[in-house]
Structure 1
Amino acid sequence: MTAEIDDLDRRILAELQRDASQSLDEIARKTGSSKTPVWNRIRKLRAAGVIRNYTVLLDEYALGLEACFFVLVRTSSHEAGWQAAFLDAVRARPEVMEAHRLAGDIDYILKVKVANARAYDRFYQSLIEDVSIFNVTALLSMEEIKFTTEVPL
């Protein structure tokens, strides 16, 4: 079910996406509202599930995670048991930043952040130890051209 939001809600959400650490006063000033309505709307948006949580974005390069691999996974097994084991294995690995089940020739794509190729190989060996995979292709990202966590409003 889609939440109904108006223009003020969108402006508040845009400000929160840009910097969730802003004070209510700052958000109210930037959105042309006042503190109490902004607070009430944020509470309403949280209750509706539009705002899931607040977080901090870290610089992975500063933390030594300089390699980003996109891992294309094909499986020959489509049973529920295999899928559950695969999903458990993927969810248990902090290197996996995103995982998507796909339509088409590739079954899954994983976005994996690691220090280097050797760290990726350790990740890969650990993954295939936990679950049987028919085919894996790893693509090394040479340059991140765009990254955002902001949802288009």
Structure 2
Amino acid sequence: MDAIDRKIISILQENAETPIQAIADMVNLSTTPCWRRVQKLKELGVIKKQVVLCDSAMLNVGVTVFISVRTNQHSQAWLNKFANHVKDIPEVIEFYRMSGDVDYLIRVVVPDIATYDTVYKKLIRIADLHDVSSSFAMEQIKYTTALPVDYCG
């Protein structure tokens, strides 16, 4: 991956609807070679998919909750069951297995605390959890889906 590919990725991460001609102009290529590079990035899996980012407040899910989960269970079967059920909860938008004191970190968006309580009750029904701790975001200071491109080869 060269500097042109990195620039193309940066442009598309800012706006995936940028016309190929505009991208080509920004990276000093003609349209066809630029289009080929984009296709190659897709084939390689560098570009996984193109999505629409929505305003959480406009969709009435402006409350962000970070849920820390600790468990006494560490078998693959337990993880599979827990993960499969958590993935099915639509309010869960991020879900990570962690190192350190917390086993899992879950990011949830909801309209209010009452709806969060419903999500919480779903979580504790799924599996035996040792500890569940929730933190409500007070203010979003930075939010981006754009990944840094300076580290790819």
TM-score, length basis structure 1: 0.95
Q: Corresponding residue for 1:123?
A: 119
Correspondence 1:151 to 2:147: yes
Once the 2 structures are TM-superposed, how far is the Cα of residue 31 of structure 1 from its aligned partner?
Answer: 1.6
Counterpart residue number, 1:29: 25
- Counterparts of 1:84 and 1:11 in 2: how far apart (Å)? 38
- How many pairs does the alignment contain? 149
Contact 1:89 / 1:131 at 8 angstroms: preserved in 2?
no
Partner of 2:124, secondary structure, is helix
Residues in 1 aligned to 2:3 and 2:134: alpha-carbon distance in whole angstroms? 42
Give runs of ≥4 in structure 1 deviating > 6 Å. none
Question: 1:138 is paired with a residue of what secondary structure?
Answer: strand
Q: Which residue of 2 is the match for residue 7 of structure 1? A: 3
Look up the SS of the partner of 1:125 in the other structure: helix
Supply the RMSD in Å over aligned alpha carbons: 0.8
1:39 paired residue number:
35
1:101 is aligned with what amino acid? R
CA distance in 1, matches of 2:30, 2:94: 37
Q: Which amino acid aligns with 1:9?
A: D
Q: What 5-or-longer segments of structure 1 have no aligned partner?
A: none
State the shift of 1:133 in Å: 1.0
Percent of matched pairs sharing the same residue: 37
What SS class does the counterpart of residue 93 from structure 2 fall into? Answer: strand
What CA distance in whole angstroms lies between the structure 2 residues aligned with 1:25 and 1:68?
38
CA–CA distance in structure 2, aligned partners of residues 73 and 126 of structure 1: 13
Q: What amino acid is aligned across from residue 136 of structure 1 in structure 2?
A: V
- What is the identity, as a one-letter code, of the residue corresponding to 1:46? K
